[in-house]
Structure 1
Amino acid sequence: MHASADSTSRALEVRGLSVTFATRRGPVPAVVDVDLQVARGELVALLGESGSGKSAAARAIMGLSDRNATVGADTLRLGDTDLLSLTEQGRRRTRGTRMAMVFQDALSALNPVLSIGDQLGELYREHRDMSRKQARAASVDLLAQVGIPAPDKRVSDYPHQFSGGMRQRILIAMAIALRPELIIADEPTTALDVTVQAQILELLDSLRRDLDMAVLLITHDLGVVSEVADRVMVMYAGRVVEAGSADDLLSRPAHPYTEALLRSVPRADRRDATLHAISGSPPSPANQPAGCPFHPRCEYVIDLCRTSRPALTPLEDATARTAACHRSEEVRHATV
């Protein structure tokens, strides 16, 4: 497993990322002051409930934010390239060739009127100057690499002729076609059955190892995280509230939100235990409470939490662990 990415191996470095949406009721902050790094060959999971800002952060990194979004960052680097200094044309060239995104809805992400071979082949023809015949051969090899049976025949099929799991594999094939340095996978296992989810995750895991790609995996599924992630970053209300190695963070969470998420997952060794539910709902980005945004739902809340928002700070006697909680050490030493 990788430690926190150092400057020589770092594929992605983000510091101070913020995304604010302009609405009729005024500006709405969706992402606030987020830092993250991903090393080559490393898989980092960005974890949190819907509305926590995960996808907004990912789209901002890719340069795919909506028109009403204002994106700001102190640092946004892909390898040795400063993404903030690129023109829009430069960002478009970077997408696909050096960074790629796997979306959660494969059916809407693929063009329904073009065969899979045409869609994959276009990448090779546009970016690698291949002939149509060469592009088709490369597409067949790519489909085989992501586990599509009979790729030489299926390359002529259309998206609706594939199952949901197979379409997701095709999206991953499109993402890795040009061997990018970074893949951002946004909920890639949504709406797939458990067996297919496991297959997709194993595929992502093996590809990043074989191709030495950095992977930023966006998910709300703790089972997904425990299987493949090297490091985990937990987001709540647009901010990172905890980060660390997957093994350490999942075994000894230091933020009440992470602990609550872990307790809400069914466990085979606790069949008689009542399934824990987190009370309340995440706050609206436009109307966040004072102090710590999690305090209305928190079992560890004290008066300080209602008035003072805790900063993301390193934990005592823990390597590369940070948490934004006034009682992080107490939470960390409690039994999950």
Structure 2
Amino acid sequence: MPSVRGVDLDVAPGELVALLGESGSGKSVTVRSIMGLDADNARSSADEMRLGDTDLLALSGDERRRLRGHRMSMVFQDALSALNPVLSVGDQIGDLIRAHTDTSRRAARARAVELLAMVGIPGASRRVGDYPHQFSGGMRQRILIGMAIALEPELLLADEPTTALDVTVQAQILELLDRLRRELDMAVLLITHDLGVVSEVADRVAVMYAGRIVERGSGDDLLARPAHPYTEALLTSVPQTEGLGRDLVTIPGSPPNPERVPPGCAFHPRCSWAVEACRETRPALIEVRRGRESACHRSQEVVGAGNE
């Protein structure tokens, strides 16, 4: 059974697009497919998949592998698992650089020091020989970002890079990503389920539910006036300071199992806006206002309610 269906995404140079949704909505599967990192028991297909002027679908496995880390890179959410525990961080960054360029070991080491300093590691020249376990969680995440931008890729895929970090460190990581994409004119696709993260840095947002994009638009506009009930429900469930002492608002039920996605709109069993058409016909993702797309039979009413 397909876990992701009909996803259409584009990210321009220097732009940060957030892919938003609950756990299990298909965000990580999507970015792993772009990178060519599908699980052994999975297969991905697409009508078109391009990186700049390169047709990724026309590449062999080896050709696709040579692009990873060079023209497109990925930051994983668990830095401790992603880093090799028996190699120093300098050796890991250096090996990546030497694998893709004709660079000496000494030059690669010097570049590793530059990258560690660029991502805010204090005493980079001294710490380049340290091992992953000698760094805090936030510092390890910075190291992963340093590795990902080592060769100044055109596209950076960041899979929930602030998960399990405290609020202060989260803000620092987001500020770092925002600064680097501007300095390097790098396209960034940020996977998250955190609306606070989205509001801070996203130029555009795509909301995913049950393996499909259900809403898409500019960050500020989408968060201010959602056009899909799922987006509206996500925003409503964010705790508010003025709601102290009250029960938290939650979305009833759970995301569907990919093997048992309900007919019609997949969100209809949890949706307060659902009507009979929602149970029978899956709505297409269409433009509901300039620069905004939504896959909902009642998008205009949802947007209108947000303006009241």
TM-score normalised per structure 2: 0.98
Q: Name the SS for the 2:278 alignment partner.
A: helix
Are 1:304 and 2:283 an aligned pair? no
Distance of 2:240 and 2:17 partners within structure 1? 24
Higher helix share: 2
Among the aligned pairs, what percent are the same residue?
Answer: 69
Does residue 321 in structure 1 map to residue 295 in structure 2? no
User: SS where residue 101 of structure 1 aligns?
Assistant: strand
1:294 is matched with 267
Shift of 1:111: 0.4
**Which residue of 120, 140, 150 maps to 2:93?**
120
The answer to whether the aligner puts 1:150 opposite 2:123 as a matched pair is: yes
Question: Is the Cα contact below 8 Å between 1:31 and 1:238 reproduced in 2?
Answer: yes
> Whose relative contact order is higher, 1 or 2, with alpha carbons under 8 Å and at least 6 apart?
2
Amino acid at match of 2:228: H
**Matched residue, 2:229:** 256
Look up the SS of the partner of 1:200 in the other structure.
helix
**Once the two structures are superposed, what CA deviation does each residue of 1:240-288 show, in whole Å capped at 9, x if it has no partner?**
0000000000000000000000001112344465421000000000001
Measure how far apart 1:126 and its partner are.
Answer: 2.1
State the 1:290 CA deviation: 1.2
Equivalent in 182, 191, 207 of residue 155 of structure 2: 182
After TM superposition, the structure 1 = structure 2 runs for residues 1-336 of structure 1, keeping only pairs within 5 Å, are 28-271=1-244, 274-315=247-288, 318-335=289-306
What number of residue pairs does the alignment pair up? 307
> Could you tell me which amino acid in structure 1 is paired with residue 263 of structure 2?
A
Opposite residue 306 of structure 2, the aligned amino acid is T
The CA deviation at 1:187 is 0.6
CA distance in 2, matches of 1:187, 1:139: 24
| Other-structure match for 1:23 | none
- Give the superposition deviation at 1:133: 1.3
Helix, strand or coil at the partner of 2:260: coil
Matched position secondary structure for 2:259: coil
CA distance in 2, matches of 1:218, 1:301: 28
Which residue identity does 2:87 align to in structure 1? L
Counterpart amino acid of 1:49? E
Kept in 2: contact 1:54–1:218 (CA 8 A): yes
| 8 Å contact from structure 2 (residues 76, 82) kept in 1 | yes
Shifted more, 268-277 versus 193-202: the winner is: 268-277
* SS across alignment from 1:333: helix
Q: Is the 8 A contact 1:125 1:132 kept in 2?
A: yes
Aligned amino acid, residue 61 of structure 2: E
Q: Is the 8 Å Cα contact of residues 137 and 165 (structure 2) preserved in structure 1?
A: yes
Kept in 2, the 8 Å contact 1:143–1:151? The answer is yes
- Give the secondary structure class of the aligned counterpart of 1:72: coil
Structure 2 segments unaligned to the other structure (5+ residues): none
Partner Cα distance (1:188, 1:84) in 2: 27
Q: Is the CA contact 2:226–2:306 (under 8 Å) kept in the aligned structure 1? A: no
Amino acid at match of 1:70: R
Q: Distance in 2 between matches of 1:75 and 1:66?
A: 20
Q: Which amino acid aligns with 1:311?
A: A
2:194 partner letter: D
- Residues in 1 aligned to 2:270 and 2:290: alpha-carbon distance in whole angstroms: 28
RMSD, aligned CA: 1.1
Match of 1:15 in 2: none
Q: Whole-Å Cα distance in 1 between the matches of residues 306 and 209 of structure 2?
A: 22
Give the distance between the partners of 1:329 and 1:274, measured in 2 at CA.
29
Structure 1 unaligned blocks of 5 or more: 1-27
Q: Distance in 1 between matches of 2:274 and 2:67?
A: 45
